[in-house]
A and B are shown apart, each in its own frame.
Chain A
Amino acid sequence: MTTLATRVLIIGAGATGAGLLRDLALRGVQALLIEQRDVNSGASGGNHGLLHSGARYVASDREAAMECRAEGDILRRLAPQCIDDAGGLFVAVRGDDERYVSDFPGLCAKSGVPCRALELGTARAMEPALSQDIIAAFAVQDGAVDPFMLSLDNIAQGLSLGGGMRRNLAAVSMDVRHGRVGRVECRDMTTGENVTIEPELVINASGAWAGLIAALAGAQIGILYSMGSLVITQDRIATRVINRLRPPSDADILVPGGTVSILGTTSIRVPSPDGCRPSVAETDRIIDDARAMLPILERTRYIRAYAGVRPLVSLGPAGDDRAVSRGFALIDHAADGVDNFLTITGGKLTTYRLMAEKAADLACAKLGVSAPCRTRTEPLPPSSLGRWTEPGRGPKSWVESRAEDDIVLCECEMVSRGVIDAILDEAKDMRGRSMLKAIGMRSRVGKGPCQGGFCGPRITGHLYDREISTGTQGLAELKTFTERRWRGFSPILWGVPLMQADLQEALHCGAMDLEFGPPPSTTDEESEKCQATGELP
């Protein structure tokens, strides 16, 4: 059994936890970040990657709108490597609420969110995929952000300044005495080893899992779980972010993600943050709805779907909608009788830095540290950890700087063996339940049209060659990876993707009999627990 001492323990390596590791490190406060799975495993990885201009919230939540605008400006300036400053449009189509349309520019002005009315012809010239039926269009300052690069770059700087991180380490219990968390008992999800952490202060940044983590310290947070599904197109449909100009609803936004576009999202109440997956019905609903704005969505090819769970925090009694609508929640559990325990949850990817700042401010006040926040002014340095998540980086590096005997292991996204080796060398402890899954999170592997059908077996062979896999472990991890990709692939199987799935099964089952042999390397904790219970109002 291992015991680790740390000044601050951060639980959860989503964007907020990653931002906290960096924020505290820049203030000279030593911290350890733990994560039960891998970086961005929750909502930080399961979202559009939208950098909000704030315009989405001008009608419903002015405070959130203003926060988004201010934070968007900061990220564009300080983390440009993670941002595609594409700009955005808000468009209404025939049949949409015309009063909402006419109120929109005034509401934007009130929140200080820049917004410019466009001639319809101009809007269609800017984005030829737009429907002939649009009745209004406005330009705003939306953009796209690579959430994986963002978290990995935050973590990289945090680590370089003396922070620590453990992946695949789940907090399982907390020892609370005399109003303080003394020890946090954890389990290594790869080895099963028990690890004890003795922190001065604990920050719960576990997103949708915040209620479950708070309960370990005897504190209660009312959290509602809202699952959102999204689908990814094979090609980039539009240059800019395209929003439907109507009150926030399903399928109202298309965000560019490098060479693809991401369409979403839905909102379904689910009973647990674990085990959510996109479905055929959700995917169809998204496409049926969004094609009014972008008719090409009916005909275009899709790559996969995915889902994330948003935590909606109710500070007061359950059902207090005003509390639910707040952008994010910072909770000092001194009120629950635990003095060195904070929760920061809710919010948006765009405001992750502000959330980290506010939580770190409170933590520092409790620790008696007076160093001010520096993330508002210090650039976020690009890291080698984050660079391979960028679409197009693989092919570019292949063309410009490959070693003579290098070979391409993932042909869809042109990821070479050299890149895989660089990822493996840099993050040695990342294995978790499947080394392939971990590689996939840090690169474009498995994200192209084959969805891992071809690159999965090939990289498995390479992991055996490097003696990283032994026995039947590599096959078991390949199955884990394939099942994980299947969750997103199975909802979009018609047309060409169905042919691809046919081929994948012919290879994995028809040719290699992988349905026999070792089971996947984990009975996925995310498996069947989550059943939709009904839609949010």
Chain B
Amino acid sequence: MKKYDVMVIGSGFAGMAAALFAARRGLSVVQAGATGGIDFSTGFIDLLAVHPIAEQKVWEDPFAALAALRRDLPAHPFCRVSDGEIRLALEEFTSFLGEHGLCYRGREGKNTLTLTAAGTMKPTYLLPCTAWSGVEAWEAKAPALLVDFYGLKGLSARQIAEVRGDWPGLRTARVRFPGMGGELYPEHMAWSMADPARREELSKTVAPLAADVQYIGFPAILGMTDTGAVLSHMQELLGKKVFEIPTLPPSIAGPRLRAAFDRGLPPLGVRTCTQKLITRAVCSDEGFQFTAGSGSTSVELFAHSAILASGRFFGKGLKADRHSIREAVFDLPVTQPENRSLWHRPGFFDPRGHEVNQAGIETDNLLRPLDADGQPFHPRLRAAGAILAHQDWMRMKCGAGLAIATAYKAVISL
């Protein structure tokens, strides 16, 4: 049986990043596990924007926020990663995505406020280039037209314009998407935009409504694997700057990321067992033997090292019954509140966040998961991403950044 250098468990942001970093370093990689939340991603790469969460203090400089966080929360996984490592990790990750048609953009050392489907402004660190003109338009409060579509339920232009009372120059229009009727899905629309004729029809519909604006915004449907080309063609056709806003799930952001990895990882020699969960893991001094999937389609895999990037509850890295939370693959100890009454707060939007979101795996500085005695569970096992304890990525606004940075650290420390 082939022995891989590294088994990556999980195929969300952390798993994809770990597979990429390991393969780029010449390691043979096999990857399995659920895609987790990546299908529900906005496509934004947050680094860190809010700390302390209870005070809802928002930072413009994520590295200043990181310094404060490392001082205040010594158990936070960001304490295991240096600023230099974070920068290198983000650079390597986004340049890979750029090579595969997903260009990212941000401001060095600064968070950028970007529009969400709700009409709120969300601080993030790096955003798809297709969203960038939206940032400029909002910052300048420039005359802009926001277009949405009959039959597409994930984005209401009117809602965004109403919520953005600070942007009086923002107008809206609802149009029919050429060639499609009834209920529309972003993925179908995005694929259809690969056809230049479709872009021409769409711009003919929109152009007469946009005579007096500088910018035109669309729900994120501008192409699947060729967003840059679709965006520039639309700008050329319309004679305006064009931008996208990610829709509510199911949005196009997740499929675009998956498509980029599906194209980019196999040439690097990564073997992927798509959507197969690890159902059995046996550890020994030689390494790890895994069963991926179950029944007749299951696969046996052997690896020298392993990176656990299996996510939280939605990613199935953590599982809970009425009494406790367990780690799904190795049954590692999970730091957690004493009982279920303490998992969640009475208010969903409580600024302090829910206690259960700080539950997870303990590690040492090399991101080696710890056993019940506080010792590394296995010398060549690492953990990365949302499964790590003492962080709340949803409230701290650090999801993708934490996943990518800890994946990087996990790989280079192997």
Q: Which residues of A approach B to under 8 Å, CB–CB? A: 277, 279-281, 284, 287, 404-405, 407-409, 417, 454, 457-458, 460-462, 464-465, 467, 469-472, 474-475, 479, 482-483, 486-487, 490, 493-495, 498-499, 501-503, 505-517, 520, 528
Q: Can you offer 13 A-B residue contacts whose CB atoms are under 8 A?
A: A279-B341, A280-B343, A405-B182, A407-B151, A407-B153, A458-B248, A461-B117, A465-B158, A465-B159, A467-B158, A471-B162, A499-B316, A505-B354
**B340 pairs with A503, CB closer than 8 A:** no
The interface bits of chain B over 89-125 (1 if a CB of A lies within 8 angstroms of the residue's CB, else 0) are: 0000000000000000000000000001111111000
Q: Name the one of B153, B320, B349 contacting A461, with C-beta atoms under 8 angstroms.
A: B153
Q: Which residue of B lies closest to A416 (CB)?
A: B183
CA A493 to CA B320, docked complex, whole Å: 9
Q: Name the one of B182, B313, B349, B351 contacting A482, with C-beta atoms under 8 angstroms.
A: B349
List residues of chain B with CB within 8 A of the CB of A502.
37, 312-314
Q: Name the one of A408, A474, A509 contacting B159, with C-beta atoms under 8 angstroms.
A: A474
Q: Does B330 contact A (CB under 8 A)?
A: no
- Max chain B CB contacts within 10 Å: which of A417, A458, A499, A510? A510
Q: Which residue of A lies closest to B176 (CB)?
A: A405
Tell me the interface secondary structure of chain B in the complex.
loop
* Known A454-B249, A487-B346, A511-B42; further 8 A-B contacts with Cβ < 8 A: A408-B183, A457-B248, A458-B248, A469-B159, A479-B349, A501-B313, A506-B394, A507-B249
Q: Does B393 contact A (CB under 8 A)?
A: yes
Q: Name the one of A407, A470, A507, A511 contacting B183, with C-beta atoms under 8 angstroms.
A: A407
Q: How far is the CB of A200 from chain B (nearest CB, A)?
A: 44
CA A487 to CA B386, docked complex, whole Å: 26
CA A409 to CA B321, docked complex, whole Å: 31
**A499 pairs with B313, CB closer than 8 A:** yes
List residues of chain A with CB within 8 A of the CB of B313.
498-499, 501-502
Q: Which residue of A lies closest to B345 (CB)?
A: A490
Q: How far is the CB of A69 from chain B (nearest CB, A)?
A: 38
Give chain B interface residues in 278-328, CB to chain A under 8 Å: 312-314, 316, 319-322
**B346 pairs with A277, CB closer than 8 A:** yes
Known: A464-B158, A499-B313, A515-B395. A509 touches B349 (CB 8 A): yes
Q: How far is the CB of B253 from chain A (nearest CB, A)?
A: 10
Known: A405-B150, A503-B40, A512-B116. A461 touches B155 (CB 8 A): yes
CA A471 to CA B165, docked complex, whole Å: 7
Tell me the interface secondary structure of chain A in the complex.
helix
Q: Which residue of A lies closest to B344 (CB)?
A: A490
List residues of chain B with CB within 8 A of the CB of A457.
117-118, 248
Interface size class of B (residues with CB under 8 A): 35 or more
**B56 pairs with A507, CB closer than 8 A:** no
List residues of chain B with CB within 8 A of the CB of A474.
159, 162-163
**A486 pairs with B347, CB closer than 8 A:** yes
Give chain B interface residues in 134-171, CB to chain A under 8 Å: 150-151, 153-156, 158-159, 162-163, 165
List residues of chain A with CB within 8 A of the CB of B182.
404-405, 407
A-B contact number at CB 8 A: 156
Q: Which residues of B approach A to under 8 Å, CB–CB? A: 37, 40, 42, 56, 116-122, 150-151, 153-156, 158-159, 162-163, 165, 174, 181-183, 246, 248-249, 312-314, 316, 319-322, 339-341, 343-344, 346-351, 354, 356-357, 393-395, 397, 399
List residues of chain B with CB within 8 A of the CB of A471.
162-163, 165
Q: Which residue of B lies closest to A458 (CB)?
A: B153
**A494 pairs with B349, CB closer than 8 A:** no
Known: A506-B37, A510-B394, A513-B120. A494 touches B159 (CB 8 A): no
CA A132 to CA B312, docked complex, whole Å: 37
Q: Which residue of A lies closest to B323 (CB)?
A: A494
**B314 pairs with A503, CB closer than 8 A:** yes
List residues of chain B with CB within 8 A of the CB of A498.
313, 320, 356
Q: Name the one of A407, A469, A475, A483 contacting B347, with C-beta atoms under 8 angstroms.
A: A483
CA A24 to CA B14, docked complex, whole Å: 66
Known: A464-B156, A465-B158. A507 touches B354 (CB 8 A): no
List residues of chain B with CB within 8 A of the CB of A509.
349, 394-395
**B320 pairs with A495, CB closer than 8 A:** yes
List residues of chain A with CB within 8 A of the CB of B181.
404-405
Q: How far is the CB of A527 from chain B (nearest CB, A)?
A: 8
Q: Which residue of A lies closest to B158 (CB)?
A: A464
Q: How far is the CB of A328 from chain B (nearest CB, A)?
A: 33
List residues of chain A with CB within 8 A of the CB of B314.
499, 502-503, 506
CA A252 to CA B154, docked complex, whole Å: 43
Q: How far is the CB of A476 from chain B (nearest CB, A)?
A: 10
Q: How far is the CB of A457 from chain B (nearest CB, A)?
A: 6
Q: Name the one of A454, A472, A514 contacting B349, with C-beta atoms under 8 angstroms.
A: A514
